[in-house]
Amino acid sequence: MSVVIVGGNECMTRQYKKLCQSYQCKAKVYLHKTIALKNLGSPDLLILFTNTVSHTMIRCVLSSIRGQDTIIARSHSSSMAALKTILEQYAA
């Protein structure tokens, strides 16, 4: 399963990827608005940590995903517990 995480804490990027690997998921983490956000491809799961990203970044990501069979999960918190809860729900 491919997972794209948008937002979160910069110092926890490696831990996000490691937790996703424990659920047999490949993860990409985008913390800042970049050109790559417009070319996300078609991930199976998109996780938005809404507390740490701007509205324009969320709109950009959602417009690039529109029309695909991507599951979108939103979480206000960007903690490891929040990510684990989302992964248990969708990747288990």
Q: What is the pLDDT of residues 19-43, one digit of tens each?
A: 999 999 999 999 888 777 777 888 9
Q: Tens of pLDDT along 45-67? A: 999 999 989 898 898 899 888 88
| Average pLDDT score over residue span 4-23 | 94
Report pLDDT for 48: 94
Work out the number of other CB atoms within 10 angstroms of the CB of residue 79: 14
Inter-CA distances, 55 with 22, 47, 62, 65, Å? 30, 15, 11, 16
